[in-house]
Amino acid sequence: MNSDLIFVLGLLGLCAVLFAINRPRMDVVALLVILALPLSGVLTIKEALAGFSDPSVVLIGLLFVVGEGLVRTGVVYRVSDLLLEKAGKNEAVLIALLMIAVAGMGSVMSSTGIVAIFIPVVLSLAARLRMHPGRLMMPLSFAGLISGMMTLVATPPNLIMDGALRDAGKEGFGFFSVTPIGAVVLVVGVLYMLVARRWLVRPEEKQSAAAGRTRRNFGDFIQEYHLADRECRLRILPGSSFAGKMLQELNLRHFNANVVAVERPGRFNNTELRHPHARMELREGDVLLIDIFSAAEPFRELQKEARLEQLPLSGGYFTDQSREVGMAELAVPPESSLIGKTVLDYSFRSKYGLNVIGIRRDRKSLPGDLLEEKLKQGDMLLVIGPWKAIRQMQGEPGDLLVLSLPAEVDEVAPAASRAPYALLCLAIMVGLMVSGVVHNVLAVLITCLLLGVFRCVDMGGAYKSINWQSLILIVGMIPFATALEKTGGIDWAVDHFMALMSGVGPRVLLGCLFVFTAVVGLFVSNTATAVLMAPIALKVAESAGASPLPFAMMVALAASAAFMTPVSSPVNTLVMGPGQYRFADYVKVGVPFTVLVLIISVVLVPWLFPL
């Protein structure tokens, strides 16, 4: 063992210690590695900085932009809605569905890409369920890695091992050769994460997360302003006196009612939400979302006479519409011209496009006809209407100040109308990646440019969306593979492995090969691990007088089983920040699961691929 190799191994061990204690930050450690390797003379400057031009790093950075496009257009929230609809508030069902969805989609596209796309989905789910994101991020990461065991094209190591077999004149793998093993690992992984999730979030983090949730939401506003049971949802039936009339002709305020929004059938058999204005003409089939702010009896009589059908409500005071219908609390400042005037005097809805649905004075919600109440300095007004109108009020200080916005504002999709284009771009990306017409990096770059052309994402949002800490960490760890190869570390490890394994049976060899591959994968990417281990696997099979297929498959599976550290796969690195994990969390959860994957592989591989 030469002095350069001793230095590289020592530096690797020091990084592992610093990662474990989380001091300094992991991206700072990565930058120190980039500094140390060329200063020591082990690598040239070009070799040490090679990570910045590595296609996988560029790919990951671009995928953050794709994820931002899906967030801005609301696609992410629709996926989270679907998962929540199926799982309800059952965390176990949610984890199972999430892992199955990610593993299924990752079987035909980059696991790193699918995890990057699902990170905002998971953050949205955690926020809506008031759950620590750490409960869901590790299952997401594990599912992304397991997806590499689902099909031949799911991850580069599978293709590398298939190519190595064919180059050696052997029969390669079929598209679904690995699928039976991956399916078993996925089932075991779901069951394992239902237990392991309890280890991921420490008690103090639960408390700090709960303490940090001081921001009010729609539910808080509904309670504070006594809005419960004031809402109703009515459909205009054929022959209704409302059909064909403009809102201003109905004079609904005379009946203590206010139209908050109108649901109208869209062009693609979907329901579009329209925001009301005085000259809006109503149609048969329109569904009115109405606030009854005073005695309801007069309006109930009108409802019968005008042929309006009452429909069920799925959320308290239209909370199920919070992506399109917003709320905000406004304050009447001392110099406001509203003081002494009523909401009707001020023509509030005509001026701002918003409806006043509550007034608080001296911390008490006022009852009765709010629209006829004369406003005073310090009054708080709760308004409802399009988020765009609320944002405009924020930028125009004057008679009213936007005092607080509910937490739901974070889930508003500013480019929701561009969602079909975002889905088209995503389909193009998946098609290009699966077909192999262009390199994956070019496929994702084309997608990012298309997202910009279709205004699904803007340049400012694109740059802000990139998680630079994760990218720097990956960039800093890539040179280690070159350093180990240049200093003879790989050859040294192979020689010792062959010496230790002499005379053992094929099944033991398979298990040891898995362990050795997994250990190598702790320090280099799974793609580099497969490249380094491919000739070793074939040589071990030859020395044992066995078929090379099970040995190649074992390396492919072990390369995907990068569960043990945050730096063993970009997938793990991506979820570390959003999940608020420490290095030890990966070891605590990843090592036992890697052992389970080892057992499954040793049992199934010789059965599916006879020795």
Give the containing element (helix H, strand E) for 56: helix 55-72
Give the pLDDT score at 270. 61
Q: Please state the φ and ψ torsions of residue 165, each to the nearest 5 degrees.
A: -65, -45
Q: Strands (DSSP E) along 339-482, which ranges?
A: 355-361, 364-365, 380-386, 401-404
Please answer whether residues 34 and 439 qualify as being in contact, where contact means their C-beta atoms are separated by less than 8 angstroms.
no
509: number of Cβ within 10 Å = 21
Residue by residue, what is the 3-state secondary structure of 348-383? HHHHHCCEEEEEEECCEECCCCHHHCCCCCCCEEEE
The answer to whether domain 326-340+354-409 has CATH 3.30.70.1450 is: yes
The model's pLDDT over 255-273, given as tens digits with 9 standing for 90+, comes to 778 888 898 876 655 667 7
Please answer whether residues 248 and 199 qualify as being in contact, where contact means their C-beta atoms are separated by less than 8 angstroms.
no
Token pair 């929540």 in the structure block, residue: 84
Closest residue by Cα to residue 33 from 12, 53, 52, 47: 12
131: number of Cβ within 10 Å = 18
CA distance 382 to 366: 11
Please answer whether residues 233 and 290 qualify as being in contact, where contact means their C-beta atoms are separated by less than 8 angstroms.
yes
- For every residue of 278-297, DSSP letters joined together read TTPBP-TT-EEEEEE-S-SH
Q: Quick one: 43 exposed, middle or buried, by C-beta within 10 A (0-12, 13-18, 19+)?
A: buried
Give the pLDDT score at 49. 92
Please answer whether residues 317 and 354 qualify as being in contact, where contact means their C-beta atoms are separated by less than 8 angstroms.
no
Equal fold, 219-321 vs 326-340+354-409: yes
Token pair 């490249």 in the structure block, residue: 531
Low-confidence spans in the chain with pLDDT less than 70: 20, 22, 56, 76-77, 80, 108-110, 113, 153, 202-215, 266-271, 295-296, 315, 395-397, 410-411, 413, 470, 490, 493-494, 498, 501-503, 523-525, 527-528
pTM, two decimals, is 0.64
608: amino acid identity, one letter: L
Please answer whether residues 258 and 289 qualify as being in contact, where contact means their C-beta atoms are separated by less than 8 angstroms.
no
Give the pLDDT score at 212. 45
Give the pLDDT score at 202. 58
Joined tokens for residue 497: 């492995």
Give the pLDDT score at 214. 53
Token pair 């937490």 in the structure block, residue: 407
Domain residue spans in the chain?
A: 219-321, 326-340+354-409
Closest residue by Cα to residue 359 from 400, 417, 323, 396: 400
**CATH of span 219-321:** 3.30.70.1450
Residue by residue, what is the 3-state secondary structure of 517-586? HHHHCCCCCHHHHHHHHHHHHHHHHHHHCCCHHHHHHHHHHHHHCCCCCCCCCHHHHHHHHHHCCCHHHH
Number of residues written out for the chain: 611
